[in-house]
Amino acid sequence: MLQTVQELNDFLTNHFPQGEGFGAVEEAGDGWVLMRLTVEDSHLRPGGTVSGPTMMGMADVAIWSALQTKIGPSPMTVTGNLNINFLSKPKPVDMLARARVLRVGRRNGVGECYIYSGDEDSMVAHVTATYSIPAY
């Protein structure tokens, strides 16, 4: 399994390099990760708020990474469904994504993610997602 921060970040770099645009793993454990995204101008929409696609991408990469701690390495695991609820307007500051695996089966996994603006006192979105795990 991939469980250390270094293993997960190396895995992202090697198998999902475009995922680096959505943050880096800062903490990890069995079935969970904490990712941080340093917000840049390219992540902002008019009005100076972090865009929805940025938050969706960050959550997807975070939950996918958390799933790797349970099944990994499995780079061909793909998103089957993602649902996001935007709760409040994020500030243009570092974003945190705390993701955890809710269930892992033989062929799919389910997880959730809480996205924060700045610190974990300011939740801006809640995400749930399912993933298809390939048979090997």
List the CATH number of the domain containing 70. Answer: 3.10.129.10
Structure tokens at 45: 């929409």
> Can you list the alpha helix ranges (DSSP code H) found in the chain?
5-15, 52-71
Give residue 88's pLDDT.
95
Give residue 72's pLDDT.
81
Give residue 20's pLDDT.
76
The pTM for the full model equals 0.94
pLDDT (tens place) for every residue of the chain, 136 residues total? 677 899 999 988 998 888 778 999 999 999 999 999 999 999 999 989 999 999 999 999 999 999 999 998 899 999 999 999 999 999 999 999 999 999 999 999 999 999 999 988 889 999 999 999 998 7
The most distant pair of C-alpha atoms in the chain lies apart, rounded to whole Å, by 46
Please choose, from the candidates 63, 69, 67, the residue with its C-alpha nearest in 3D space to the C-alpha of residue 2.
Answer: 69
Q: Which domain holds residue 11?
A: 5-132
- Phi then psi for residue 74, to 5 deg, are -145, 80
Can you list the pairs that 10-14 forms with residues at least 24 positions away whose Cβ atoms lie under 8 Å? Answer: 11/65, 11/68, 11/72, 11/73, 11/75, 12/61, 12/65
Output the CA angle 66-128-35, nearest 5 degrees: 40
Task: Report how many domains make up the chain.
Answer: 1
Are the C-beta atoms of residues 105 and 111 closer than 8 Å to each other? no
Give residue 120's pLDDT.
83
Exposed / middle / buried, residue 12 (Cβ in 10 Å: 0-12, 13-18, 19+): buried
Helix (H) or strand (E) holding 86: strand 78-86
